[in-house]
A and B are shown apart, each in its own frame.
Chain A
Amino acid sequence: MTSHHIILYSFLCVISIIVFSGYLVKMYRFKREKNRVTEPQEARAIDIELKGDIFELDKLSIILEDLVRYNVPVKTILDLNIVIEEVYTSIVNQQKEGQDNKNVLISLVLDPGQIRVSITDHNAEFNPIVMQKIDLNAPFEEISFHGLGFHLVRHLADDLNYQRMEDRNILTMKKTYAK
């Protein structure tokens, strides 16, 4: 038997072991799923701390994409991504030039069938909820595009609430989905 035979056979052995262990893991997962007693799911909390930099958005979308593993539908994740992106971008834009970027805290709480989001920043007081609603039925020339991002947020999220606590703006919202 030459060294080349040994190389080939060792790789074949490794591949067979991998395939077999993959099969065992599959069987184990299948059994576990079958035996699992359906209990009400506990709420899960995810805290995301972003540095107040626009490039942090990549990090945000990576974390949000990961919600698929909690059985959140893709459409809800994409909507949520748009909503948080809009709010976060507006927070970053409001930061004054020359000042150090302050962290923005995004907390997600996953309940069965809904996600509660709260976004906390340290900018000057700004309540987006009192902003005038955009009338999209008005003629095109008369539509003011200022606040269009928040119009989208209002459209995609439910139960928007704003609070000013000490030096923080806290925006909370909910996003429901069919389980």
Chain B
Amino acid sequence: MKRLKFLESLLRWKWYPDILRLPLFIGFFVLIYVLLFGDQAEGKNIGLSVMWVLMWSLQPVAFVLLGRFWCGICPFSSAGDLVQKMVGNEIHPPLFLKKYGVWFAYTFFIVIFVIETLLHMASSTTASGILLLTICTMAIISGAFFRRRTWCRYLCPLGVAGGVFSRLRVVKLSKDSAICNECKEFECFQGTVNSKGCPMGLCIKRHDLDADCISCGNCLKNCPNGSPRIQLRSPVKGFLANVKMSQAESAFTSSFIGLSIALSLIKDFMREINLSFGSETAVWDEFLVIMLFSGLSLSLFYIFSYIIRPVTRQSQKHNFRFFGFFLIPYVFFVLFNLTSVHEVLLNGMTLFYNVTISMGLSLPKTPIHPLVGLQGMHFIQGLGVLAGSILSIVFCVHELQKALNNRQRNKIIAVFSVFLVAVTGYSIYLLIFL
């Protein structure tokens, strides 16, 4: 692992992260204004292009490169922090929020994702504006009543779901264990005169930094012993160095598989239902069917982890967490397909046109074509799904090599591979042949 001293000194700089937060905070208000009062014609609103094609597509890539860096400079949290500074009550978040808040966040993420796809939120200025304002209001409620960043840590759908993919991060905060073991003051958590304590409530000695660190640099500013450091690491090594997963995260990854399949199937599925029953179905029926698929996938994975108990010789809970962890690369590529690949290839040119026009340059009035046709995009998405499933299997094999004997290991790998190959095969079939 290579230590990045340049980034460390940047994070120690007293103006960081405010220097990045301020323009984004102002930009957020401009974005809201443009969304609600800009050009409402389809494909002409620059706010929509910036929000969905630029910001939404960049998120998965940013999570893998920098972890939850976005959360450190996110304008919603800036609004929450501002209100916290003005009227903050600093109440400790209730225990049920700490225990079950992430379940809400994952469900919220899945619901937003499905609604976004079904209602084509990426082309609706009203829906996009309401979404942004709702999340901002939630962050402000958290800032006004609770201490630190309760919303970001336990409830934010994007941040908490991003935390799962942040386990693959390349730039990571790490610690010098020898120094931390001697520490008795916990300045990183408590804060000093230099800066406040960790806004996410993390103590670098004890907590999982991969999933929750937002790279705000407060621990670097506060630690008098220089224990925190920024390191560049291989995503594979870093990912496998900390095989630790909660039930909620596993439930999220497993239900996302069903969700992705349901999104590809839904139109044909509903057409069949309409033909069979001779009735018209609404968007909400589609929503319910997708959520049902998602729940079905979660239940199947739960049963899978129960059935393979004799093979792994571990409890059902352990299996659920363990295999859920190795679904992360697969689910990441699925998300990458549905957000980055989809938005950039289909709407990338719209962003280019809108930015050019807003800069005052005139362009020929030709219809805006997508960068790649639908078939080309499905081919690229198929490749992504394949890459994700190969990575998941390779990571699982690598991890199992450490602990188990050959026979037991081969059995587990065979079972996991069959599961994943079946899911991948079906997804590719849906993408390319339907």
List A residues at the B interface (Cβ < 8 Å). 3-5, 7-8, 11, 14-15, 18-19, 21-23, 25-26, 29, 53, 55, 58-59, 62-63, 65-66, 68-69, 74-75, 78
Contacts and interface: CB of A to CB of B under 8 A. Distances in A.
B129 A18 contact: no
A19 B126 contact: no
Contacts of A25: 89, 145
B36 A4 contact: yes
Given A4-B129, A7-B133, A22-B83, 10 more contacts: A4-B37, A18-B141, A19-B144, A22-B144, A25-B89, A55-B317, A62-B95, A68-B92, A74-B186, A78-B205
The 9 closest A-B pairs by CB, nearest first: A22-B144, A4-B36, A22-B87, A11-B133, A23-B87, A69-B92, A26-B89, A25-B89, A18-B141
A7 B246 contact: no
Contacts of B37: 4
B140 A19 contact: yes
A78 B190 CA distance: 13
Nearest to B98: A62
A69 B190 CA distance: 14
Contacts of B133: 7-8, 11
A55 B95 CA distance: 18
A63 B86 CA distance: 30
Interface string B304-319: 0000000000010110
* Most central of A26, A68, A75 by chain B CB within 10 Å: A26
Interface in B293-334: 315, 317-318, 321
A7 B126 contact: yes
Q: How large, as a class, is the contact surface on chain B?
A: 35 or more
A19 B99 contact: no
Nearest to A74: B186
Given A14-B137, A19-B144, A53-B315, A4 B126 contact: yes
A7 B129 contact: yes
A3 B125 CA distance: 12
A22 B36 contact: no
A19 B372 CA distance: 47
Contacts of B203: 74, 78
Interface of B: 32, 36-37, 83, 86-89, 92, 95, 98-99, 125-126, 129-130, 133, 136-137, 140-141, 144-145, 184-186, 189-190, 203, 205-206, 246, 315, 317-318, 321
Contacts of A26: 87-89
Nearest to B38: A4
A22 B145 contact: yes
A53 B318 CA distance: 11
B126 A66 contact: no
Given A3-B126, A14-B137, A74-B189, A66 B95 contact: yes
A22 B98 contact: no
A111 B86 CA distance: 35
A78 B95 contact: no
Nearest to A14: B137
A5 B35 CA distance: 11
A18 B134 CA distance: 13
B87 A19 contact: yes
B86 A19 contact: yes
A15 B32 CA distance: 15
A5 B88 CA distance: 29
B144 A18 contact: yes
A24 B246 CA distance: 38
Contacts of B86: 19, 23
A66 B190 contact: no
A22 B88 contact: yes
A44 to B, nearest CB: 14
Contacts of B87: 19, 22-23, 26
A8 B36 contact: yes
* Most central of B86, B87, B130, B205 by chain A CB within 10 Å: B87
Contacts of A53: 315, 317
Contacts of B144: 18-19, 21-22
12 contacts: A4-B125, A8-B133, A11-B133, A18-B83, A18-B140, A18-B144, A26-B87, A53-B315, A58-B246, A62-B99, A74-B189, A78-B205
B189 A55 contact: no
B324 to A, nearest CB: 13
* Most central of A4, A21, A75 by chain B CB within 10 Å: A4
A19 B83 contact: yes
Contacts of A66: 92, 95, 98
B46 to A, nearest CB: 16
Contacts of B140: 15, 18-19
Contacts of B186: 74-75, 78
A7 B130 CA distance: 7
Contacts of B189: 74
Contacts of B129: 4, 7-8
Nearest to B32: A8
A131 B141 CA distance: 53
B137 A11 contact: yes
A75 to B, nearest CB: 6
A26 B89 CA distance: 5
Contacts of B185: 75
A155 to B, nearest CB: 13
A18 B184 contact: no
A78 B205 CA distance: 10
A175 to B, nearest CB: 15
Contacts of B321: 55
* Most central of A18, A62, A63, A66 by chain B CB within 10 Å: A18
B318 A55 contact: yes
